[in-house]
Amino acid sequence: MADSPTVVRVHDVSKRFVIRKDKSLKERLVNAGRSRRHREDFWALRNVDLEISAGTTVGLIGPNGSGKSTLLKTIGGILQPTSGTVERRGRLAALLELGAGFHPDLTGRENVYLNASILGLSQRQTDEYFDAIVDFSGIERFIDTQVKFYSSGMYVRLAFAVAVHVDPDVLLVDEVLAVGDEPFQRKCLDQIRSFQKEGRTIILVTHALDQVVDLCDRAVVLENGRVVVDGDPALAARTLRADFEVVRQAEQRTELAHEPQHHATVTAVRLIGDDGSPITQIAPGDDLRVQVDVEAASTLDDWVLGVGIDTPSGQSLYGTNTQLMGTRMPPLTGRGTFEVQLRNVWLGGGQYEVHGALAVWAGPEIHRLPQAASFSVTTDGRSVGFLGAEPSLASS
């Protein structure tokens, strides 16, 4: 959508918060005007540049504390940047946190009119949308109850219903959909897809990376307040998952430092054909031979070998291990190569990753090598998705 106008422009934005070390009001008064020893600057955003075109769906992802929600609130005008500028075009509706914009002592009905007016609707326009808002929220029985008695799910239902019915050009969503139950989440996702078809702009913060890959045209990875990846959602999710894996393995190494008998790693994974040569491509229903190289610094007893197939974004599609197969592995010292044969791999067309893993039979995982090998599946183009099948039409 290169020709679409820019609806959000973030230019060199930084946001600083002051963390005070005073533990009481008395300490704040005593330390007022003194050195900076009693306060600390925390930069939630650092020199962020971002342009978002009309009609696109952009996911903001990253680890906790990376600045995702701060950036979304800055885009929404809830927070003002310490430096830099944010430019917006069109009507903007935001779901930034649970119950934001609701007054606890007002009823659901009164809060609908309050929220709608904040988002720029007149009372007449709200009258027109009111029945649709209540119907979408599914809380008609409680619409005249004070919202302080609402559950978190009821909050989200009503807030989302208002936000999507005020005819926004730009919709900001911050993780709140995770609070609703599964049927309501599906309804929200259907509404988001409807917005996409109508050419509206959506910016969402979520930890659900598969949702980002499925919904978004583009994903932005934030780490320590800075943009580290901006582009293809699958690549962004894969990068973030790789970062998570680095952290997980570092934590795992720390834990294993106290268990030297488990010092073993998967060093490589290969995919081979029937003649033993490397392969990178199969057809639906083909067999897949997975060779795994393992190295143990000391004798590895009672261990488990596992392999799995993942999407490029890291979503697990298939996994098995020797424990599930009921096979005991012999003790291993030094290096060894083992092969797992996967029969009739019915996958849809696309790119896939393979990982290898080690675990203790009655204990934790020892090591995992993600994205250790990759392959593609080629089809006749008559289907999409991860599942492989042979479609045909039969008349009844």
What the block records as the tokens of 37 is: 């020893």
Average pLDDT over every residue of 289-318: 91
Architecture of the domain made up of 263-377: Distorted Sandwich (2.70)
- β-strands 281-282, 365-377 pairing: parallel
The rounded distance, in Å, linking the Cα atoms of 102 and 176 is 15
Of 204, 258, 263, the residue nearest 76 (C-alpha): 204
Question: Rounded to 5 degrees, what are φ and ψ at 393?
Answer: -110, 125
Most confident of 39-53, 181-195, 379-393: 39-53
- Helices 152-165 and 108-118 pack at an angle, to 10 degrees, of 40
Q: Which among 206, 212, 203 is positioned nearest to 77, based on CA atoms? A: 203
Tell me phi and psi for residue 292, to 5 degrees: -125, 125
Look at residue 160 and give its three-state secondary structure.
Answer: helix
What does the pLDDT average to over 126-132? 92
State phi, psi for 277 to the nearest 5 degrees.
Answer: -85, 150
What gap in Å lies between CA 173 and CA 67, rounded to an integer? 15
| Nearest one of 180, 189, 76, 165 to 112, comparing CA atoms | 165
Backbone angles phi, psi at 2, to 5 degrees: -65, -25
The pLDDT score that the predictor gives to residue 384 is: 79
Q: Do domains 6-240 and 263-377 have the same CATH topology?
A: no
Over 60: is that where the pLDDT of 263 sits? yes
> What confidence category does residue 32 fall into, taking pLDDT thresholds of 50, 70 and 90?
low
Q: Is the pLDDT of residue 45 over 80?
A: yes
Q: Does domain 6-240 have CATH number 4.10.320.10?
A: no
Q: 95-121: per-residue pLDDT in tens?
A: 776 556 688 899 999 999 988 888 778
Residue 65 has a CB neighbour count (10 Å cut-off) of 14
Look-up: residue for tokens 């934001």? 100
Q: Which residue has the tokens 């005020």?
A: 166
Give the DSSP H/E element, type plus range, for residue 230.
Answer: strand 226-231
- Max CA-CA distance within the chain? 85
**In 97-224, beta strands by DSSP E:** 170-174, 201-205, 218-223
User: Using alpha carbons only, what angle is made at residue 219 by residues 177 and 317, rounded to the nearest 5 degrees?
Assistant: 75
Q: Which residue has the tokens 């935001």?
A: 94
Is 261 a residue whose pLDDT tops 80?
no
For residues 67-89, b (16+ Cβ closer than 10 Å) or e, as one string?
Answer: bbbbbbbbbbeebebeebebebe
Give the relative orientation of helices 152-165 and 123-137 as an angle to the nearest 10 degrees.
130
- The whole-number pLDDT of residue 303 equals 94
- Do residues 264 and 300 lie in contact, with contact meaning Cβ atoms separated by under 8 Å? yes
Name the average pLDDT for the chain.
85
- One-letter amino acid of 362: A
pLDDT of 245 over the 80 cut? no
By DSSP bridging, strand 281-282 and strand 286-300 are unpaired
Q: What is the pLDDT of residue 133?
A: 92
Domain ranges of the chain: 6-240, 263-377
3-state SS class at 55: coil
Kindly report the pTM of this predicted structure: 0.69
pLDDT mean over 180-199:
84
Residues linked to residue 68 through DSSP beta bridges, in sequence order: none
Q: Phi/psi zone of residue 77: left (φ > 0), alpha (ψ -120 to 50 degrees), beta?
A: left
